[in-house]
Structure 1
Amino acid sequence: MTLPLFGLGTFRLKGQTAIDSVRTGLELGYRHIDTAQIYGNEAEVGQALAESGIDRDAVFLTTKIWTDNLGADRLAPSLEDSLRRLRTDRVDLTLIHWPSPGGAVPLRESLDALLAARDRGLTRAIGVSNFPIALMREALAATGEGVLATNQVELHPYLQNRAVLAFAREHGIRVTSYMTLAYGKVLADPVLAEVAARHGATTAQVALAWAMQQDIAVIPSSTRRANLESNLRARDLRLDAEDMAAIAALDRNQRLTDPAGLAPAWD
């Protein structure tokens, strides 16, 4: 299973907005769609995919198990519900969306249930999201190496998460960046603007290319066709060593997603 380096995120997209975004993305050539149970848009993603006419095997589909469903008795049934909403018999990747709050459900229990769902063919691969090093280490102890496809974490020029990235690489876990544009905060950054000007690119393209050149998968979202099309062109942008060093210097450990009661102890 190869995790695509570029995909379409659907966080915060609801109803017809979600349908339109996914439909437009597929028309433009996106072939990786990222959703989650808690997003409340799996049905809309499934509708857009079904109506696109694109063969299911041509699209990489990711969803995530919400914390309420991490128990052994709930995980697989909840994934089956997701599949019904998505109008498919399997997804390509299923993630534990957040660690169980307070460790209420042992991680090994959730991973065993997720592996059983994989063995049943409900998902081709499994992974985690929002896992710091301590929990990645615990997950690896439960699954062994070579099993976890990715750890999806907040990562952008202002939060470069270098320790998590280094640990994941050491143990063969790909990293997926969410919020690569930091909720749009990086779009007006003067350093990114200078790099963008040198390449005839946009600041969004620069931020996305910066991540991808580190083998970090990205899943930007947009409701505007022009932005979806522009983001896609980041795949063709190549930054030089000077560009990468300038962006590396922007790291300020500025975390934007830190929900009380849900977030683990970050690195």
Structure 2
Amino acid sequence: MGTGAFGIVARARDTRLGRLVALKCIPAREPLAMRDYLGREAQALTRVRADEVTTVFDVLCASVSSSQGELGFVVIVMEYVEGMNLREWGRRQVSSEVRVELLSSAARGLEAAHAAGIVHRDFKPENVLVTKVGSARLVDFGLAYQVGSRGGGAGLVPRGEVGVGTPEYMAPESFGGQASFAADQYAFALTAWELLTGTRPFEHARVQLARTGRARDYTGASKLSAPLIRTLGRALDPRAEARFGSMLELRRNLERSGRWFGQVVNFVIGGAAVGALAATAYHAGKQSRDKKK
């Protein structure tokens, strides 16, 4: 189904339970140790209660014989979601209202993860799947961090790792190794900006470390309403403490801004249509009067 930095994802059939599953296959020199490490991801996700987060069923060890000997793998068995990732879906011709609705669905997934004390740390379009019914599913919690863990022993990965995540979607503080719910807000807002405007607000990932500009000056801002710029701009603030208090607060502001945006668009389109009809009626009447003369 796809490849990533750590391995491949394949579709398979669980012959015992008769269902399709997704297998995340990760090469490992010491599969047993890696299985225990990745098992923490599965354990953490069992505490996340949300339809917007993909379910993990099991973590297994496997090996494949080759001319170079036995190749070890760790296999994460996950729920199979039929659909496409958010980047692919974003290329479709859909309205801004529908895009905001899908972003709201993805935000609910992050809300549920945060409620379980989990920071995703790698939220981006490729890690959001869009189902056939148009809802979002968060995947790939391999870089996630359990808030309150010490050295990663009780959680997922150590907090002190520097530069964890995808640079283009990392909050400024993440480059220094900090992990927080606010960093997920930042990544979400970057993704939302890109989905709604077709472009990233900043040209280069490292620009976000030293920028001081206003959100209305970001690339693509002209395609957004003022409320959406304010909402996403706050979540994109380089200061973590200046962002929203929670993903719930961010999601509610996004939904309100999106509804306002949709109403304005409909009003403008409706007004243009009325104007066009009025102009047509005027010219038709004028032609009729001219003929009578």
TM category, shorter: under 0.3
Structure whose residues are more often strand by fraction: 2
Ranked by relative contact order (alpha carbons within 8 Å, sequence separation 6 or more), the top structure is 1
Instruction: Tell me the TM-score normalised to structure 2 length.
Output: 0.26
Query: Max radius of gyration: which structure?
Result: 2
The normalised TM-score by structure 1 is 0.27
